[in-house]
């Protein structure tokens, strides 16, 4: 049956599932359109690998399963995976020369669970190398371009996933968030991105950057779609020692809860110096919309949030230094073609296989962990991390969720932030959440000079259900999430 009416990829996942269930179109038809659209937009550079044969086969299997009466929650829905998740039989590059030809023999838990829920994976999206970056410019495969303005960045490190969803190439994608890498690109591309609580989603098969900070999450048009995806992704995994045993709530049911009387904490430190005034205006308008919906705004403070950036850029590089030590050219991955001896092979392999940003962070992390500097830097950063988490705990005594801007400005031009520090400042509002292990979501909340901006909502630990509910109510009252860039 050929579909008629609205082009399916303008629909949300929830709407696609309804159409598939009603027989308005098949998964095979949708996947063919997905592949056609991806091939028609090579200039975005959103994908590193497209698995046409695998996607077509999976779509046929989904249609056959539906014909037999099976009805998995996401049966037949196309999805793209950030190229940091291992996928059996398909290369996983992490956006790096070091893993250009690496093919994992197994699926990451996130991939396996979405497959079990019926999703049809179509390919792997571009990303900052080893997830280190805020603009998707550090990828060995070249920068991803923002579909709202091809001369601007999509954000990072999950920029390929964000651009693919924003351009309606796929209805959903996976991402990872170590310091804002789901939420910041979601904001810059005008989509919804959820960073779950640390441990809510298994990290097994997700190539590590900073193990105490990394967290996988969904990226889609709406909070309702993110609820569907998170329900499939979340839950205990015995193969991940950091995965939580806590039960997974019914996120779909939680969407319907009223928000009258909800207390929204507004962080005074997030509306001061460093925030683009026009972005601030858009955030204030979004907060007024919440007041109209019955919520109450509460002034709160996160006094140590200003220290989050230096704290993060000690801890994350330290963990990266340890995690990336495994890439030595001996066991797998890139190996230098010419070398004198084993030590020379190590040096040349890592010098040639890693890009400048990855090298920079390895050096910073190694320095912070070295004898004589561990107490001065790493230990102090860990103590400060605890204070940042305590600030959130105190703030939640007077509010139910915390709101503020996701990023200090709209998407900036490719090449505009050559200074690493100015690049790092783009994550100033997102990093504290990772340090505290809390859940947070970015949702479209307006436009500044034709570019989307995002509102960040932060919740209590393991309270993704409330975050999704609060975001969904905003999206029921607004249409920012429905807007797509011209030509897509």
pLDDT digits (tens, 9 = 90+) for 231-261: 999 999 999 999 999 999 999 999 999 999 9
Q: In what order do the strands lie in the sheet with 263-267?
A: 47-50, 120-125, 78-82, 172-176, 216-220, 192-195, 440-448, 451-458, 401-405, 263-267, 296-300
The answer to whether residue 336 sits within a structural domain is no
What is the C-alpha separation between 352 and 204, in angstroms, rounded? 28
Residue 1 has what pLDDT? 40
* 322 tagged catalytic: no
Is a pLDDT exceeding 70 seen at residue 2? no
What the block records as the tokens of 43 is 């200039």
Per the domain annotation, does 325 fall within a domain? no
**Cβ(51)–Cβ(79) below 8 Å:** no
Q: Known catalytic residue: 321?
A: no
Tell me if 413 is assigned to some domain.
no
CA–CA separation, 223 and 165 (whole Å): 14
| Burial of residue 331 (number of CB atoms within 10 Å: 0-12, 13-18, 19+) | exposed
SS3 254: helix
Q: How many residues in the chain?
A: 488
Has residue 51 been placed in a domain? yes
Between CA 340 and CA 348 the distance in angstroms is: 10
Active-site position among 26, 27, 161, 181: 181
Residue among 296, 304, 294 nearest 258 (CA): 294
Average pLDDT over residues 282-298: 98
The C-alpha atoms of residue 150 and residue 44 are separated, in whole angstroms, by: 7
98 within 8 A of 334, measured Cβ to Cβ = yes
- Distance separating alpha carbons of residues 210 and 230, to the nearest angstrom: 22
Residues 6 or more apart whose CB falls under 8 angstroms from that of 395 comprise: 265, 267, 300, 301, 302, 402
CB distance 220 to 229 below 8 Å? yes
Domain count, the chain: 1
Average pLDDT over residues 179-196: 98
Asked if the structure places residue 165 within a domain, the reply is yes
- Extract the tokens encoding 272: 């001061």
Q: Check whether 3 has a pLDDT greater than 80.
A: no
Q: How confident is residue 368, by pLDDT bands cut at 50, 70 and 90?
A: very high
Average pLDDT, integer, range 73-79:
97
pLDDT value at residue 5: 46
Report, as an integer, the average pLDDT of 46-75. Answer: 97
- The stretch 102-119 carries a mean pLDDT of 98
Q: Does the pLDDT of residue 351 top 90, yes or no? A: yes
Q: What is the mean pLDDT of residues 180-195?
A: 98
Q: Which domain holds residue 102?
A: 8-258+440-482
d(Cα 268, Cα 439) in Å, to the nearest integer?
A: 20
157 assigned to active site? yes
Mean pLDDT over all residues of the chain? 96
Q: Report pLDDT for 272.
A: 87
- pLDDT of res. 454: 98
Indicate the pLDDT class of residue 273, thresholds 50, 70 and 90: confident
Mean pLDDT of 79-95: 98
Q: Comparing C-alpha atoms, which of 58, 65, 15, 56 is closest to residue 35?
A: 56
The residue from 82, 124, 195, 473 that is catalytic is: 82
Q: Is the pLDDT of residue 6 over 80?
A: no
406's CB contacts (< 8 A; 6+ apart) are: 180, 183, 184, 186, 187, 429, 430, 442, 453, 454, 455, 456
Q: How many percent of the chain have pLDDT more than 70?
A: 98
User: Dmax over Cα atoms in the chain, in whole Å?
Assistant: 70
Residues 143, 423 contacting (CB under 8 angstroms): no
pLDDT higher than threshold 70 for residue 474: yes
Res 7: pLDDT = 54
Cα gap 299→263, rounded to integer Å? 10
Question: Residue 44 maps to which CATH number?
Answer: 3.90.1300.10
Mean pLDDT, range 296-308, rounded to an integer: 96
Count other C-beta atoms under 10 Å from residue 449's C-beta: 7
Residue 318 lies in a domain: no
Q: What is residue 8's predicted lDDT score, i.e. its pLDDT?
A: 65
**Section 168-173 average pLDDT:** 97
Of 157, 158, 161, 197, which one is the catalytic site residue? 157
Helices (H), ranges, 302-379: 308-323, 342-353, 356-369
Mean pLDDT, rounded, for 30-36? 95
Rounded CA gap, 80 and 111, in Å? 10
Pairing assessment for the beta strands 401-405 and 451-458 based on DSSP bridges: antiparallel
Short-list 248, 229, 186, CA closest to 13: 229
422 assigned to some structural domain: no
In a domain? residue 176? yes
Q: Which two tokens stand for residue 315?
A: 């801890």
Average pLDDT (385-402) is 98
């Amino acid at each position: 049956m050929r579909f008629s009416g609205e082009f399916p990829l303008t629909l949300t996942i929830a709407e696609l599932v309804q159409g598939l269930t009603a027989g308005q179109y098949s998964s095979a038809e949708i996947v063919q359109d997905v592949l056609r659209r991806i091939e028609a937009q090579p200039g975005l550079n959103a994908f590193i690998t497209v698995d046409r044969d695998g996607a077509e086969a999976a779509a046929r299997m989904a249609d056959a399963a539906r014909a037999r009466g099976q009805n998995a929650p996401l049966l037949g829905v196309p999805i793209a995976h950030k190229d940091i998740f291992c996928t059996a039989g398909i290369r996983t590059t992490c956006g790096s020369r070091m893993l250009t030809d690496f093919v994992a023999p197994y699926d990451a838990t996130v991939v396996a669970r979405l497959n079990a829920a019926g999703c049809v994976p179509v390919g792997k999206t571009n990303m900052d190398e080893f997830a280190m970056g805020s603009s998707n410019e550090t990828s060995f495969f070249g920068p991803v371009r923002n579909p709202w303005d091809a001369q601007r960045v999509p954000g990072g490190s999950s920029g390929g996933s964000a651009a693919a969803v924003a351009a309606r190439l796929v209805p959903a994608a996976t991402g990872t968030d170590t310091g804002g890498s789901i939420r910041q690109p979601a904001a810059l591309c005008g989509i919804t991105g959820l960073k779950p609580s640390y441990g809510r989603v298994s990290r097994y098969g997700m190539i590590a950057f900073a193990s105490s900070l990394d967290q996988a999450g969904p990226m889609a048009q709406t909070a309702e779609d993110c609820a569907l995806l998170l329900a499939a992704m979340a839950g205990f995994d015995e193969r991940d020692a950091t995965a939580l045993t806590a039960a997974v709530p019914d996120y779909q049911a939680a969407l319907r809860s009223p928000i009258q009387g909800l207390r929204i904490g507004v962080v005074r430190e997030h509306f001061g110096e460093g925030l683009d005034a026009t972005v601030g205006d858009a955030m204030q308008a979004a907060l007024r919309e919440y007041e109209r919906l019955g919520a109450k705004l509460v002034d709160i403070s996160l006094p140590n949030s200003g220290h989050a950036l230096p704290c993060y850029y000690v801890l994350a590089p330290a963990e990266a230094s340890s995690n990336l030590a495994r890439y030595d050219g001996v066991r797998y991955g890139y190996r230098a073609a010419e070398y004198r001896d084993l030590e020379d092979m190590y040096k040349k392999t890592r010098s040639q296989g890693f890009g400048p940003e990855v090298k920079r962070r390895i050096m910073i992390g190694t320095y912070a962990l070295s004898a004589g500097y561990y107490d001065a830097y790493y230990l102090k950063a860990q103590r400060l991390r605890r204070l940042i988490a305590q600030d959130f705990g105190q703030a939640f005594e007077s509010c139910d969720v915390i709101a503020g801007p996701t990023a200090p400005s709209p998407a900036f031009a490719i090449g505009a932030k050559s200074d690493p520090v100015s690049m790092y400042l783009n994550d100033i509002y997102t990093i504290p959440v990772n340090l505290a292990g809390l859940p947070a979501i970015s949702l479209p909340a307006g436009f500044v000079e034709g570019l989307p901006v995002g509102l960040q909502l932060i919740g209590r630990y393991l309270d993704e259900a409330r975050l999704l509910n609060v975001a969904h109510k905003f999206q029921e009252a607004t249409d920012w999430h429905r807007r797509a860039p011209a030509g897509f």
